[in-house]
Chain A
Amino acid sequence: MKSSAFKKSYTGVTVLDMPAFEWCEGTVTAVIGANGSGKSTLAKVLAGIEAPDGRSRPLTGAAVGYLPQKSYAFRMSTERNIALNGSDTERMRELMAALKLDPVAKRKAKKLSGGETAKMALARILMGSYDLLILDEPTASMDMESTLAAEKLIRDCCSRTGCALVLITHSIRQAKRIADNVLFLRNGKLTEQGPAEKILSNPAKEETRRFLEFYGA
């Protein structure tokens, strides 16, 4: 799955300058970078939520799924929220069990805690099937146990459906755990990319090394 090169500016300032990129199917690509590095913008443009400069979408003809950082809880119960994205009850039971959502299944989704909302949102997006699935910091507000369960689901989904999965994160540990490829963004520019194993242990560029050290990998 290939996305063409694009730029995105807000009020004249370019916040993201992305070259053409190949998102490999059946693998997890982690997009890593500090706050404001352009990660979320990348996600939104790829997902078609925001148009890039020049308005030509970088991806065409692909079914793209996107989980925003703060996913919206619709005014209905948790389980109905999840069922919005598919009627496969077997799959739904599996996801809810894995994320321990059963106790809050009947509760109004708006009344869920931050972590519970994040789990509901993840379960909801995983109900669908996409060619490219972009998850923007899906585990940011989850506890460790939930995070590990979520990561397992994400990996499973990727290998099961063969979709190209883009995981936006600032956790290098998380990238190490589940990413096949990594992609570093800094000030809106792609600084380094390649297989996770190689780059996370032995980056080619000095700035990536500093970033890795700073984030305690």
Chain B
Amino acid sequence: MGSSIRKAIELILTGDKELLNILATTARVSLTSSLIALLIGIPLGMLLGARRFPGRNALTVLNRTLMGMPPVVCGLLFYMLFSGVGPFRHLQLLFTVRLMIIAQVVLITPLVTCSMETFTADIALPLRETAKGLGFGPWKRFGLLVNECVYPIFSSYLLAFARAIAEVGAVSMVGGAIAWKTNVMTTAIMQYTNRGNFTLGIALGLILLTLSLLVNIVLSLMQRRLSR
């Protein structure tokens, strides 16, 4: 471990250009994809948890199934769709950061949806009874429900971000781990491991964990402030 930690510190201090590029790509992919997943997953999860409508059960089951989709399968699917011979070839998205983000959104959104759905389903009924009993209209009830969800929205985001930043199967398939372009921390770690350079692999892993720690600290502080 010692030499890895030394290597990690050295890499950061010297501002290794390739490392900085990898870090920037990683941040771009995981922050964007987790944010988009949040924007889709939260309303969807709240809808599934709070309202009864035809097809709701089917949607819930579908969502839970998608949660179990192996990242590699997701990656493979997008690889086939956007390949030079695939149906979406004209978009020329294969091996781009954009497609990596799209693949991750598909992977992560079900997680956010499920976590919001579980939370909302627990509180929706008592909340509705109370608010309706007070004579509040639908918009006021909706506002109150959103207000209840602030805390779980943060934890959902942390879940989404953690999954995004740690994910390797999908991004390596659709991104191709192309240096200076689509290489992210996880794919770089894979590459170094395959080359037998475990020290550098672990050094990158440590940097990844530190990044994750920083994001978690920032979000936890925001969560605390907002949940007052």
- A–B contact with Cβ pairs below 8 Å: the answer is yes
Residues of A whose CB lies within 8 Å of any CB of B are: 44, 47-49, 63-68, 70-72, 74-76, 84-85, 121, 124-125, 128, 130, 134
| Chain B residue at minimal CB-CB distance from A72 | B130
Total interface residues on B, CB under 8 Å, equals 18
Other-chain residue from A44, A63, A70, A121 in contact with B135 (beta carbon distance below 8 A): A63
| CB within 8 Å for A47 and B132 given contacts A74-B144, A75-B148, A76-B147 | yes
A72 touches B147 (CB 8 A): no
Q: Tally A-B pairs: CB < 8 A.
A: 54
Distance of A88 from chain B, by nearest CB (Å)? 15
B131 CB within 8 Å of chain A: yes
Chain B, 139-196, CB within 8 A of any chain A CB: 144, 147-148, 150-151
Question: Please, how many angstroms separate the alpha-carbon atoms of A19 and B221 in the complex?
Answer: 57
B126 touches A68 (CB 8 A): yes
Question: Please, how many angstroms separate the alpha-carbon atoms of A132 and B115 in the complex?
Answer: 39
Distance of B116 from chain A, by nearest CB (Å)? 15
| Chain A residue at minimal CB-CB distance from B134 | A85
Chain B, 88-136, CB within 8 A of any chain A CB: 123, 126-136
B133 touches A74 (CB 8 A): no
Question: Please, how many angstroms separate the alpha-carbon atoms of A64 and B227 in the complex?
Answer: 32
Other-chain residue from B126, B136, B148, B227 in contact with A70 (beta carbon distance below 8 A): B126
Hey, which chain A residues are within 8 Å of B132, CB to CB?
47-49, 66
Distance of A64 from chain B, by nearest CB (Å)? 8
B129 touches A65 (CB 8 A): no
| Chain A residue at minimal CB-CB distance from B147 | A75
Hey, which chain A residues are within 8 Å of B134, CB to CB?
65-66, 84-85, 124-125, 128
29 contacts between A and B (CB under 8 A): A44-B129, A47-B132, A49-B128, A49-B129, A49-B132, A63-B135, A65-B134, A65-B135, A66-B129, A66-B132, A66-B134, A68-B129, A68-B133, A70-B126, A72-B126, A72-B127, A72-B129, A72-B131, A74-B127, A75-B148, A75-B151, A76-B147, A84-B134, A84-B136, A85-B135, A124-B134, A128-B134, A130-B135, A134-B133
Hey, which chain B residues are within 8 Å of A47, CB to CB?
132-133
Question: Please, how many angstroms separate the alpha-carbon atoms of A109 and B168 in the complex?
Answer: 43
Question: Please, how many angstroms separate the alpha-carbon atoms of A114 and B148 in the complex?
Answer: 19
B148 touches A74 (CB 8 A): yes
The residue in A49, A70, A72, A125 that gathers the most chain B C-beta atoms within 10 A of its C-beta is A72
Hey, which chain A residues are within 8 Å of B130, CB to CB?
68, 71-72, 121
Distance of A56 from chain B, by nearest CB (Å)? 18
A66 touches B133 (CB 8 A): yes
Distance of A78 from chain B, by nearest CB (Å)? 14
B135 touches A128 (CB 8 A): yes
